[in-house]
Amino acid sequence: MGSGHLKFIDGNGCFCRLHVCVDLHLVGRYDLLTRQRASEGTAFKTKYLGNSAIVIRGDRRICAIGGWGGSDSFPCPHKLPQTTQHQVDTNKHCTGYGKNRIVFRVWPRDPKGNTIIASSLRGKEADNGIDLWGATLYDFYFVLRAPDVKNYLTISTGSRLAKWMRKHGELIAEDELYWADKEEDPKEVPVVDIGELIRCYDTRVALGIFNQFSSRKKIREKEKTSRSAFSYSDLEKATDEDSTPPVGDQGDNIGREQEEEAVSVVDDYSEDAIARAQLKASMLETESETSSEDSADQPTGNPAAPLPNIDSPFHPDHYLSPYPFIPCTHDEIPILQQRIPLHLLPQKLYVHDPWNKLTVNKNDSDHNTQWLSKVTNEGDIVRTYSLSFGPEGKKVASKARKQAEIAEDEAAKEESVMHILPTDKEGPTEEPRIEVVLPPRPRKRAQVEEAHLYLSPRAVGVGHNSIVHSVEWELPRDLFVEPRLCKACVEEDIRQ
């Protein structure tokens, strides 16, 4: 970062200095004859952040302000400056090589300043309690803890450093202090409602946009004939039989204990038999609560268990055509961004892993085989996990569940009434309006018994000690989507 100064005589004959800073959208003007300090001068805001040059016209007025190396666009405070970004992109020896977010600002220190030691002073913080928070990349700094020890650097934030510097009377970093004072407070950015995303997705499904990904053979064949230009070679290679494996949408696997062995499901399938066999395997449960890692990673070849209870939302009878879709075949599935309350986390999680990716050193590297073909020919590998809370987590979840049940009991007491006008014509009428007592809405869930997770074969990221895969989760629909009563249907029934 840098700054510039320009001395000149203004239109009134005053000997002045203009100060511009590459870090801020300010131009400072102060009188040199009266020895006015920068903090006592007048600050003028410019439209954009980042000034390092200034031009004065012949009439001693500011003509132009610029900076950032002649860039055509001004920088975004949430992105690195172009020169810094270029360095981390090209210099392999740079600490932040290959990254888009690094700390690049340095907080100036007074050579005679105090050493920064542990302190109770806190800067701006988000609700998660992390003590280092900044509104932009420009709010993070490297700072010398001891001014005379050049390599004793630490990372801090502008709001926290500003408090410490003012407390100890170290005010030489005027631009940084001003920037810290103007920093926005933390605020929660609301995420998109998953229920709305699901309803939009349903509309696209109803239009047949995803029919080529349906696990129902008849739907795929119908789509193939109606869209002859579309290539279905991959799906045709996958299988010649219909298959309806359970599908997945969202989920969270944290805080669970593995409780049963992986199950390989391979059978002699007839028409529609794959669907039921897959669902049988996915719902297989065991009395055992623990198993060794070796046994958990190896398919057992056990026969499929009976179908789940008809009350289960994952029973095949509850799927409407063209659902379910083949897992991990398209990227249009709604993304869950909202936090699921603890008491609504599924009690059992069934993880579908046909490529055995959970066994890192024994997984299948064949990523070209389609999901449907993989499951049909080699069987699915399903692992079951049970939800496990610590003492505090159990207490919070239990309290929230009881509150949810009480709220539903109160809601059930309320009577919902719909009024229907006797005629569509405007104006007075002697016919009375029709009053209809509507049935109570279904109770909201206070607990989720099960969910399914489908692990994609390809990794989307690799770290030093981890591999990241995208997954699809399937949770009960009514967990996210409020039931809606078809008022037009009610009115039609009443008028009949």
46-83 pLDDT, tens digit per residue, is: 655 555 566 665 555 665 666 554 444 556 888 888 88
Domain ranges of the chain: 3-70, 82-181, 194-335+344-387+447-479
- Structure tokens of 211? 């029919």
- Structure tokens of 117? 């030691």
Average model confidence (pLDDT) across the chain: 74
Cα distance between residue 473 and residue 250, in whole Å: 3
Among the listed residues 326, 307, 254, the one whose alpha carbon sits nearest the alpha carbon of residue 474: 326
- Structure tokens of 159? 């709001």
How far, rounded to the nearest angstrom, does the alpha carbon of residue 47 sit from its chain's CA centroid? 32
Cα distance between residue 333 and residue 202, in whole Å: 10
- 38 three-class SS: helix
Among the listed residues 65, 57, 60, the one whose alpha carbon sits nearest the alpha carbon of residue 28: 65
* H or E element in which residue 282 lies: helix 273-282
What is the per-residue pLDDT for 217?
Answer: 84
Cα distance between residue 449 and residue 245, in whole Å: 19
Cα distance between residue 496 and residue 486, in whole Å: 16
Asked whether 157 and 120 are in contact (CB, 8 A), the reply is: no
Q: How do strand 105-106 and strand 3-9 relate by DSSP bridges?
A: unpaired
pTM of the model: 0.59
Residue-wise burial string across 162-188, b where 16 or more C-beta atoms lie within 10 A, e elsewhere: bbbbeeeebeebbbbbbbbeebeeeee
For the sheet containing 26-31, what is the strand order?
Answer: 3-9, 15-21, 26-31, 42-45
Among the listed residues 307, 306, 326, the one whose alpha carbon sits nearest the alpha carbon of residue 315: 307
pLDDT in tens, 183-240: 999 988 888 889 999 999 999 999 999 988 888 888 888 888 876 544 444 444 444 4
Please state, for a pLDDT cut of 90, what percent of the chain lies above it.
Answer: 24
What is the per-residue pLDDT for 165?
Answer: 95
